[in-house]
Structure 1
Amino acid sequence: MEHDTLLAYLDQWAEEKSDDVWLRDFRGEASDDYTWKESRRQIHAVASALEQRFDKDTKILLLSRNRAHWFFADLAIMAAGNVSVGLFTTLNADVAQYIAEFTESKAIFVGEAENWDRVKEVLADDVTIISLPGVDIPEATLTWDQLLKEGESRTPSHVPRHDDMIALIFTSGTTGRPKGVIQTNDSNVIPIRRGSEFLAIEADPIYFSYLPLSHLAERQVIEFTSLCHGAPVSFNEGLEYLGRDMQRTRPTFFFGAPRVWEQLQQAILAKFGGREAFDAALAANPEGIAHTVQTALGLDRCEFHLTGSAPLPTPLMEWWDSVGISLMEGFGQTEAMSLIISREGARRLGSLGKAAPGVDIKITEEGELAIRADGCTPGYYKQPDKTAELIQDGWLHTGDRFRQDEDGFLYITGRIKDYFKTLQGKFVAPTPIEAQFADNPYVEQQCLVGLGMNKTMMVAVISETMRDAPRDVIEASVRATLSQLNEEVEKHARMGGAILTYEPWSIENGVLTPTLKIKRDQISDRFGEEAAAMAIESAESKTLVIRWR
């Protein structure tokens, strides 16, 4: 049965699957399990209490690691006719304060969050602090259990509508302040239906939640899709337990950004003693090694291995193919999801896939992809000027540059705002150059810089599995890659060399956003001055310049 609101699905499964476990919260070797019936009881009770305490459309913050009560709090806020605003547990105080003040949030649910000590200092005095179960929050004004008692045996009076604003998702802010993207039932239910039909997802999928729920990809692909399918979800206790919890779950559907698939690959290679040892074992026993890898990762019954949010290097895709795991790329964004999807039998290396059914596309004269489809965001919260830029004459402008081949496959070539001008006054698209440079076996992260320079320069992080390699060997390989690329790119985009580092870029050191995208301004701040000097040296010496940081 199809519904036009997420809460209608909750009601359906609470009646039809009342005693089936929906959510499994791993805690050590045990787990806290919640049936559909119990989940609805808690959601309705807390929603009823929220209705008594806050006016409709009140913005309520949510800060916690992934857990069952993240879902419960989110859906209780929704059921009360309010709007949830998720905060990443890695946000710094300035961004958290901006979001809290911009949304005029009146309450915050707090669970396990590494940044709570920073966030609590910037909240207004009138913000009600509500602690989730199992967490000691001395500053809490209320607890989850208190709200449960207040609303016990009551049903919220709010009647959900398809166009209700149910959440604000703040973009990761790779440039400037994050924007609050309005989410409705329509902007989630419709893309879920579209993606499920295109992928032909069978009954009884099993989901695993480990990526931040404050990001729409995890929220929609796991939380909301599990609602629409009546499917169970297991929660990762923490990234240090990722392998254990994946093996316990054995999901049929798994999503990870390219960086996640790269880290999993490195973990497998390390267990085999390095790439050469792995390659030899795979050549000797391909089926056996593929089975070993899939079982070790808990992906032995996984039907859909999805990736997105960043370009997937071709060698990485081919490596996973070699162990029987076909990575399916897709494209969507906080403003519009399930737009372009690849699937088994409809996949082309380097392509994100084809437009999903019901999605009209056009590529503008500037090369930007614009889409028209049901289930897009109505716009940005309190930013009508930005909304007008986003949606023009019914077309949503993605901000991404694309090309389409003769068979309809779509390829991303970069972000409109990622383009930069060199000293020659010509634009350079860094993304495709970075994607080609990623083929080098010694690097795992890369970013091209060159704004105002006479040559572009590559900044790259050495792969964890290659750190024991001699520097002269790494340098020779990087020089060969740079030389090859310089023969292929336009003259004004040619690289003068590279800055190499062993320090990975991460959320913690401020180079990656919470969704694992590179903050180009941070790379420029950290490496730009040195890169500019190296570009001059390269131009004068007519050689490739390599430096270590």
Structure 2
Amino acid sequence: MNTGSTERQGAETLIESFYRWEQQQPGKVYLRQPVGDAYIDFTWAEVGQQARRLVTYIHSLGLPPRSNIGLISKNCAHWLIADIAILLSGHVSVPFYPTLTAEQLKQVLEHSGCRVLFVGKIDNWEAIKPGVPPTVHGIAFPDYRPNSSAPDPDYAQWNQILATNQPYPGHPVPADSDLFTIIYTSGTTGNPKGVMVDYGAVRQAIGHTRYRMGHDLPETRFFSYLPLCHVAERNIVEATSLATGGTVYFTESLDSFARNLAAARPTHFLAVPRIWTKLQQGVLAKLPQHKLDTLLKIPFLSGIVKRKIRQGLGLNEAKLIITGAAPMPISLIRWFRKLDIHIQEAYGMTENLGAVSIMPVSRVKDGTVGQLYEGVDVRIDSRTGEVLTRCGWLMRGYYREPALTEAVLKNGWLATGDVGEVDDDGYLRITGRVKEMYKSPKGEYIAPAQIEFGFADNTYIEQICVGGQHLPQPIALVVLSETGRQAGRQVVEPSLQQTLSQLNPRLHAYEHVRKVVVVKDPWTIENNRMTPTMKIKRNVIESYYEPHMEPWFSRTETVIWED
């Protein structure tokens, strides 16, 4: 890797970027927080003032140098202000998912050793609060919604801190070796692991990806709604907005999502596959597929229809449209492409800052996750087919977990857990997960994710999990979409049978799906069958339905409806 490349030169740490915009464009709006039909705006100067007063308060707590400070909240303006304050104070930012239970929060707080915790927008804080050890000092965000109080009146109050502390005047610049953050994984299996990321890693990642991330746009706007504690949102929203001096819009609630997105008109937009499926279903609910296909064939109307759909979604000015965090069906990418919404699939994981590859706009290779970034090397394990990555922005290791670190980091190479291949043009194809693949009773390896892609064209399906490692053939568990629920059994069942008849001939005989089971309950974050980043928890789902698998498999019908 050539660290003296053009992409690397001039890269700043995030704190240095913040200083630059605080000084060069103090009056420009950085953060826009929706409250009903209005917005509360925070300029770069205002963000600096609030963050610097928080820094003075944090210094007054007498924490040891480089202490870990926690942050738990839904996305909002104060999340970014608090994160900037933690970094300015010389401490380490440790954000947590706002969907954690009390027990889960207790586990990560104790594991990380956080001495201070910022608490913001949480739906059921009273149920989660018992997970906070009494030794942790709490700081509560303000709440600007009418007739609402601060998240926790027992904690130090944000506005009171601002009123009683002077702004910290310093401009410290961290060393590359200083720890920037600990990012806890979403925990698809086992306890979350704390990924340690230093300032140098972030600086190098920004330097090598800036030309792919639209840093040259004259004006950048971001829409923040996926968990900011996840590496993807932290990269696309926080890091890129700081690097470009752009404006970040937030969403107030699920009900206001569409309105807030349309108002933001983001230049950069990130959505996980489940969100793209939801957006597709929203379009089809207003304009059924057969009617859409007809309109797109009429030259005069085609452009108008595409533009209205993009405007309706709030994506008419988007320049960088990304999907990541989970595999994206090719058919879904192509469906949006027909509307001139060009989704670029990106690949990476927390351990390499989510920056391994991205699909170029002009040289698309469907079925891959794009080309490797400059500075990334990939090799494939000859025995297992596992993808190994090497770059200048790998994690330092897992916090307080040397054995787990040693298991995945060896001689500068990170074992990703994904199975894949790289072609001669540097495009990476992911074919499965090492831990998700299983041996059939006949001894052949089965990759569930690849089979699940075969169901992507059926809009009656919203979620799917292929499994059954103890069965003679795979079985597909599906959750119906809203369209599927409204259509009813007499329509959905023949559609599922047709999907199977088209899919199975394209698979190896041992991969043929024998049964499709329509389950009653959706898989959600709340029932612990999805991660906060909307990936299914395969092991949890399979364990839950395991007692029913063999009885379902032995039934005569192909499509089975859970009682």
Aligned to 2:497: 479
Residue 51 of structure 2 is aligned to residue 43 of structure 1: yes
Aligned to 2:141: 132
Aligned to 1:422: 440
SS at match of 1:446: strand
SS at match of 2:297: helix
Q: Give, in whole Å, the separation in 1 of the partners of 2:333 and 2:521.
A: 24
Q: Give, in whole Å, the separation in 2 of the partners of 1:3 and 1:491.
A: 52
Residue 331 of structure 2 is aligned to residue 322 of structure 1: no
Shift of 1:76: 0.8
- CA 119–58 in structure 1, closer or farther in 2 if over 3 Å, else same: farther
- CA 214–458 in structure 1, closer or farther in 2 if over 3 Å, else same: same
Q: Give, in whole Å, the separation in 2 of the partners of 1:48 and 1:137.
A: 22
Residue 18 of structure 2 is aligned to residue 18 of structure 1: no
Aligned to 2:192: 178
Q: Give, in whole Å, the separation in 1 of the partners of 2:482 and 2:154.
A: 42
Aligned to 1:311: 327
Q: Give, in whole Å, the separation in 1 of the partners of 2:368 and 2:438.
A: 24
Aligned to 1:262: 277
Shift of 1:200: 4.8
Question: 1:403 pairs with 421, 441, 460, which one?
Answer: 421
Aligned to 1:206: 221
Assess if the C-alpha contact under 8 Å between 2:214 and 2:320 holds in 1: no
Q: TM-score, normalised by structure 1?
A: 0.94
SS at match of 1:239: coil
Q: Give, in whole Å, the separation in 2 of the partners of 1:157 and 1:324.
A: 44
Shift of 1:150: 4.7
Residue 196 of structure 2 is aligned to residue 187 of structure 1: no
Question: 2:36 pairs with 28, 35, 42, which one?
Answer: 28
SS at match of 1:482: helix
Q: Give, in whole Å, the separation in 2 of the partners of 1:157 and 1:251.
A: 30
1:47-62 superposed matches below 5 A? 47-53=55-61, 54-62=63-71
Question: 1:160 pairs with 174, 186, 210, which one?
Answer: 174
Q: Give, in whole Å, the separation in 1 of the partners of 2:407 and 2:445.
A: 22
1:444-455 superposed matches below 5 A? 444-455=462-473
SS at match of 1:153: coil
Shift of 1:158: 5.3
Residue 160 of structure 2 is aligned to residue 146 of structure 1: yes
For the aligned residues, what is the CA RMSD?
2.0
Q: Give, in whole Å, the separation in 1 of the partners of 2:259 and 2:200.
A: 36
Shift of 1:289: 0.6
Aligned to 1:232: 247
Q: Give, in whole Å, the separation in 2 of the partners of 1:470 and 1:341.
A: 39
- CA 256–118 in structure 1, closer or farther in 2 if over 3 Å, else same: same
Q: Give, in whole Å, the separation in 1 of the partners of 2:154 and 2:12.
A: 35
Residue 115 of structure 2 is aligned to residue 97 of structure 1: no
Q: Give, in whole Å, the separation in 2 of the partners of 1:138 and 1:311.
A: 38
Assess if the C-alpha contact under 8 Å between 1:80 and 1:156 holds in 2: no
Q: Give, in whole Å, the separation in 1 of the partners of 2:203 and 2:219.
A: 18
Q: TM-score, normalised by structure 2?
A: 0.92
List runs of 5+ in structure 2 lacking aligned partners: 1-8, 144-148
Question: 1:515 pairs with 533, 536, 544, which one?
Answer: 533
Aligned to 1:252: 267
Assess if the C-alpha contact under 8 Å between 2:224 and 2:249 holds in 1: yes
1:453-492 superposed matches below 5 A? 453-492=471-510
Aligned to 2:129: 120
Assess if the C-alpha contact under 8 Å between 1:4 and 1:186 holds in 2: no
Assess if the C-alpha contact under 8 Å between 1:458 and 1:497 holds in 2: yes
- CA 523–231 in structure 1, closer or farther in 2 if over 3 Å, else same: same
Per-residue CA distance 1:474-503 (angstroms, 9 max, x = gap): 222322332443333333333221111354
Assess if the C-alpha contact under 8 Å between 1:362 and 1:370 holds in 2: yes
Letter in 1 for 2:150: D
SS at match of 1:335: helix
Aligned to 2:3: none
Assess if the C-alpha contact under 8 Å between 2:11 and 2:206 holds in 1: no
Letter in 2 for 1:476: P
Question: 1:6 pairs with 6, 10, 14, which one?
Answer: 14
Assess if the C-alpha contact under 8 Å between 1:129 and 1:139 holds in 2: no
Per-residue CA distance 1:35-86 (angstroms, 9 max, x = gap): 1122112212211221221222222221112111101111111111212221
Assess if the C-alpha contact under 8 Å between 2:69 and 2:91 holds in 1: yes
Aligned to 1:360: 377
Per-residue CA distance 1:192-239 (angstroms, 9 max, x = gap): 332222355423211111111111111121011111111111111122
Aligned to 2:458: 440
Question: 1:295 pairs with 311, 335, 353, which one?
Answer: 311
Q: Give, in whole Å, the separation in 2 of the partners of 1:351 and 1:209.
A: 26
Shift of 1:156: 5.0
Shift of 1:113: 0.4
Aligned to 1:81: 90
Q: Give, in whole Å, the separation in 1 of the partners of 2:214 and 2:81.
A: 28
Shift of 1:152: 0.8
Q: Give, in whole Å, the separation in 2 of the partners of 1:189 and 1:26.
A: 31
Question: 1:383 pairs with 376, 401, 406, which one?
Answer: 401
> Runs ≥4 in structure 1, deviation > 4 angstroms?
156-159
Q: Give, in whole Å, the separation in 1 of the partners of 2:134 and 2:58.
A: 19
- Percent sequence identity is 34
Assess if the C-alpha contact under 8 Å between 1:496 and 1:534 holds in 2: no
Shift of 1:281: 3.4
SS at match of 1:198: coil
- CA 99–438 in structure 1, closer or farther in 2 if over 3 Å, else same: same
Moved more, 495-504 or 98-107: 495-504
Shift of 1:159: 4.4
Assess if the C-alpha contact under 8 Å between 1:4 and 1:185 holds in 2: no
Assess if the C-alpha contact under 8 Å between 1:21 and 1:35 holds in 2: yes
Letter in 1 for 2:68: K
Moved more, 435-444 or 383-392: 435-444
List runs of 5+ in structure 1 lacking aligned partners: none
Shift of 1:458: 0.6
Shift of 1:452: 2.1
Q: Give, in whole Å, the separation in 2 of the partners of 1:494 and 1:423.
A: 13
Q: Give, in whole Å, the separation in 1 of the partners of 2:172 and 2:307.
A: 50
Aligned to 1:530: 548
Letter in 1 for 2:132: L
